């Protein structure tokens, strides 16, 4: 990774670490968590009131996305969902409610402070079918073919290697799986330089793909049934958009958790909806951490 690329990733990590700390430090105030300041194009206002009220206030306060991918993805009972760049956990917790106890929702984030906030929100919500993972969206720490739906909320535009993100989404999805993403997309008429003029990298603007580039990237990764629909403008000729696409259902679609469960990392049926620690005295997370599992 080049020094420039490393610097961009660090600027993103630092911005969202600071955002998590602002929410966490707000807990010491009499009025509860401090909401991160955003305009109407981003944040918790993009969720329905009943969704916001059903979650911990800290999860809502930390919302920085440009849409509601849980609605875009049309989640169903029993599905396995992965949220790329899960932040404070709002979309993971909403996904967990939609897929129910037979399903599972994973959140992936590279920022330790956001992961700590998300875990605290998980405990407050009492969500048992949730697991948060540390890692980058360009190298997802989950086995191939173990996810039914990939969601993301205004995070893919922040990636330093979007082709790798699209390839990882394809890899982790089971045949016939789908993506339901909210992201910032530029008009095809805007050059990369013009996009940079409209906002910075960590602010979700400078590195956004155009509509054509987004479609081409998904097609190159093997996705079909691609639909990219703008929802609202976030800057001049820059749009929040919903992105849907499908992994072709080729060959036998045998879900990994329907086979005889194998044990690894001290966990049986690792990274599936039925995973459990071999030692009943510890949690799945504790077992994975102790063994050095990549999914920890």
What pLDDT shows up at residue 88?
86
3-state secondary structure at position 254 = coil
What pLDDT shows up at residue 34?
38
What pLDDT shows up at residue 198?
84
Render each residue's pLDDT in the chain as its tens digit; 296 residues.
Answer: 555 566 655 665 566 556 655 656 654 333 333 343 444 555 555 555 666 566 655 665 655 667 778 888 899 999 999 999 998 888 999 999 999 999 999 999 988 888 998 999 999 999 999 999 999 999 999 999 999 999 999 899 989 899 999 999 999 999 999 999 999 999 999 999 999 888 765 566 778 999 999 999 999 999 999 999 999 988 899 999 999 999 999 744 444 443 334 455 667 666 654 566 666 555 666 677 776 665 55
Determine the Cα angle at 181 with ends 131 and 169, to 5°.
65
What letters, b where the CB count within 10 A reaches 16 and e where it falls short, cover 11-40?
ebbebbeebbebbbebeeeeeebbbbebee
What pLDDT shows up at residue 257?
41
Tokens representing residue 87 in the block: 């932040």
3-state secondary structure at position 178 = strand
Torsion, Cα of 181, 186, 188, 191 (10° steps): -140
CB 236 within 8 A of CB 72: no
What pLDDT shows up at residue 28?
34
Show Cβ contacts of residue 280 under 8 Å, excluding neighbours closer than 6 positions: none
Q: CA of 40: how far to CAs of 20, 57, 63, 66, 270, in Å?
A: 20, 18, 12, 9, 40
How far apart are the C-alpha atoms of 216 and 223, rounded to whole Å? 10
Show Cβ contacts of residue 102 under 8 Å, excluding neighbours closer than 6 positions: 77, 78, 273
How far apart are the C-alpha atoms of 132 and 104, rounded to whole Å? 11
Let me know how many helices (H) and strands (E) the chain has, helices first.
Answer: 10, 10
- DSSP labels, 269-294: TTTSTT-EESSTTS-HHHHHHHHT-T
What pLDDT shows up at residue 177?
98
What pLDDT shows up at residue 27?
46
């Amino acid at each position: 990774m080049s020094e420039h690329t490393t610097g961009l990733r660090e600027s993103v990590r630092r911005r969202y670490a600071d955002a998590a700390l602002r929410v966490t430090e707000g807990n010491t105030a009499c009025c509860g968590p401090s909401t991160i300041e955003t305009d109407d194009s981003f944040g918790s206002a993009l969720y329905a009131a009943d969704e916001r009220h059903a979650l911990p206030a800290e999860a809502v306060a930390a919302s920085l996305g440009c849409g509601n991918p849980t609605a875009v993805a049309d989640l169903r009972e029993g599905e396995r969902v992965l949220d790329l760049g899960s932040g404070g956990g709002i979309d993971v917790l909403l996904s967990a409610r939609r897929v129910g106890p037979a399903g599972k929702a994973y959140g992936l984030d590279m920022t330790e402070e956001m992961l700590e906030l998300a875990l605290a929100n998980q405990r407050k919500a009492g969500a048992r079918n949730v697991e948060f993972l540390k890692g980058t969206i360009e190298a997802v720490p989950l086995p191939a073919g173990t996810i039914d739906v990939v969601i993301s909320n205004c995070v893919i535009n922040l990636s330093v290697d979007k082709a790798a993100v699209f390839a990882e989404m394809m890899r982790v999805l089971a045949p016939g799986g789908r993506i339901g993403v909210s992201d910032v997309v530029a008009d095809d008429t805007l050059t990369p330089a013009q996009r940079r003029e409209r906002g910075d990298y960590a602010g979700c603007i400078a590195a956004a793909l155009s509509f054509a580039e987004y479609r081409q990237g998904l097609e190159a990764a093997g996705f079909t049934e691609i639909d990219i629909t703008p929802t609202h403008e976030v800057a001049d000729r820059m749009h929040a958009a919903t992105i849907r696409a499908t992994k072709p259902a080729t060959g036998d679609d045998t879900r990994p958790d329907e086979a005889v469960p194998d044990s690894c990392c001290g966990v049986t049926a690792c990274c599936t909806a039925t995973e459990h620690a071999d030692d009943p005295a510890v949690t799945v997370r504790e077992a994975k951490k102790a063994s050095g599992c990549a999914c920890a």
